[in-house]
Amino acid sequence: MSDYYNAFEMSPVPPPGPDAVAPEPFRGIYGMPAFLTIPTSDLTASTDFWVRGLGFFELFGIPGTLVHLRRWAFQDVLLVAAESVPDQAPAMSVSFACVLGEVEALAESCRALRPDSVDGPRDTPWTTRDVEVITPENARIVFTAAKPFDPDSQEAKNLAAVGITPPDIGGGDNGAYAR
């Protein structure tokens, strides 16, 4: 197996594929290398959307102040009570990894809770399938699932045109990691 797929052994993200299985929720406590803090004027409604729509679970909370949510290991979100939230979603977004089998379900769960909150799912030129969701706090959240690499696909041709190839296909821009 290539170094590309061996790298997945160190990550909670499974290798891409139609049968990829999402990791179990991780309930342990760790020093978070990165996390998202989102202000909300309604902790209860926001928590409900993030749990039932986006598939997070409540790790812990401080009533009326903060809710710590998590999905996979290293996918941590802190919902923090605030007086107000932005009137519209910012141009920037935050992306969370998922597996192909989760994309449609995430889109449908969010549409059931907030019908106009979902854009996609759609395939990208960089071999992912993405769904964008605008949360009740007007945060722009993208769930992105790697698709299996097909060297004959249009995506592969697009990536090859700019010199990007997986290590087991060719050197591309993988530098020292290509073997």
| Number of domains the chain is built from | 2
Average pLDDT of the chain, as a whole number:
84
Q: What is the pLDDT of residues 48-84, one digit of tens each?
A: 999 999 999 999 999 999 999 999 999 999 999 999 8
Residue-number span of the structural domain to which 163 is assigned: 151-179
- pLDDT of 4 above 70: no
Determine the pLDDT at residue 162. Answer: 78
Sequence-distant contacts of 110-113: CB under 8 A, at least 24 apart? 110/49, 110/53, 110/54, 112/53, 113/48, 113/49, 113/52, 113/53
Asked whether residue 74 is domain-assigned, the answer is: yes
Going by the DSSP 8-state scheme, the letter that residue 97 receives in this structure is E
Q: What is the pLDDT of residues 104-163, one digit of tens each?
A: 999 999 999 999 999 999 998 888 999 999 999 999 999 999 988 777 877 777 777 777
Q: Do 130 and 95 lie in a common domain?
A: yes
Q: Do 83 and 161 lie in a common domain?
A: no
∠ CA(170), CA(142), CA(22), 5° rounding?
A: 70
Determine the pLDDT at residue 7. Answer: 42
Asked whether residue 27 is domain-assigned, the answer is: no
Asked whether residue 40 is domain-assigned, the answer is: yes
